[in-house]
Amino acid sequence: MASRSLQLKILSAVAVFGAWQIAGMIPVSYAFPTFLESMSALGRMAVDGSLYQAYLETLKPLVVGVAISAFLGIGLGLWIGLSSKFDWLFSPIFIVMQAAPLAALIPLLVMAYGIGLTSKVFVVCIMAMPVIVLNTAGAVRNTPSSIKEMGRSFLGTDVDIILKIIIPAASPVIFSGLRLGISAGFIGAILAELKITPTGVGDIITYSRSIADYPSMYAAIFSIILLAVVFLNIVERLEAYLFEGNVRGYASD
């Protein structure tokens, strides 16, 4: 089963990268390089160290913002899911945040916090936190009442019910929200670098586009996607470790 999964992943990658290579060779646009040209540019940036220096800047707001979003988002989600009053009070706020064009708030954040790390962390948080909060709240709210009643019949305290029943039962949806939140956090981090101040990977994308070095631009974008996939796989392994036996599988398996 594991080998079949690996074969499907390899086949999918070959199909996507092959289509990219063919589209670049046609070409569909003068600004669309081939896959091999982009990978050559990626290797060049990795060898000269510019890619690593860029990620040192990009990862600062990303890691801090995702950590804050995960901690506060899961905590608020549990709170909202357990209390109908807090659900009524806070859920509309995060629903509006999820639906609103949050990129329009970036100028306001710059006015309030400047162009430094703080404003970039805020951008990551406002992109990542709503989906984490709403998924966690929904998962907690929809925990079957029968298993909670069973826990109470065995004289479980409220803390026991939360830690040993509600959180394990809700963990698949909570971690789904966490994965979506991390994906949104990556978008927020790059958006902040493109809109606030050109640093890190956003600087490579902006500069490469300005000098028409399109292979380097696509290589930087590809590296972001690759890093996001690595982060998401780490979260999946974390869930498998924390809630062994309660993992229902992923599309990537």
Angle at 69 between CA 76 and CA 181, to 5 degrees: 105
Residue 42 in tokens: 């990626």
pLDDT-derived band at 253, boundaries 50, 70, 90: very low
Residue pointed to by tokens 């629903």 = 95
Domain annotation covers residue 74: yes
pLDDT-derived band at 249, boundaries 50, 70, 90: very low
Amino acid identity, position 168: P
CA 174, CA 162: separation in Å to the nearest integer? 14
DSSP assignments along 33-85, one per residue = --HHHHHHHHHHHHHHTHHHHHHHHHHHHHHHHHHHHHHHHHHHHHHHHH-HH
**Are 92 and 165 a contacting pair, CB within 8 Å?**
no
CA 222, CA 202: separation in Å to the nearest integer? 12
- Answer yes or no: is pLDDT of 251 > 50: no
CA 145, CA 142: separation in Å to the nearest integer? 8
Residue pointed to by tokens 């796989």 = 233
pLDDT of residue 71: 92
* 9-17 average pLDDT score: 86
The CATH number linked to 103 is 1.10.3720.10
DSSP assignments along 184-197, one per residue = HHHHHHHHHHHHT-
Domain annotation covers residue 96: yes
- Answer yes or no: is pLDDT of 244 > 70: no
Domain containing 97 equals 34-242
pLDDT of residue 4: 67
Pick the more confident residue, 52 or 195: 52
pLDDT-derived band at 250, boundaries 50, 70, 90: very low
Domain annotation covers residue 16: no
CA 214, CA 210: separation in Å to the nearest integer? 9
Domain annotation covers residue 166: yes
Within a 10 A sphere around the Cβ of 91, how many other Cβ atoms? 19
CB within 8 Å of 166: residues ≥ 6 apart = 78, 82, 140, 143, 148
Domain annotation covers residue 22: no
Domain annotation covers residue 247: no
pLDDT, tens digit, 9 for 90 and up, residues 144-178: 777 777 887 777 777 888 888 888 888 888 888 88
Residue 241 in tokens: 């470790």
The DSSP 8-state label assigned to residue 105 in this structure reads G
Domain annotation covers residue 113: yes
pLDDT-derived band at 3, boundaries 50, 70, 90: low
Number of independent structural domains in the chain: 1
Residue pointed to by tokens 């806070």 = 90
Domain annotation covers residue 21: no
pLDDT of residue 109: 81
pLDDT, tens digit, 9 for 90 and up, residues 78-92: 888 888 888 888 888
* pTM as predicted: 0.79
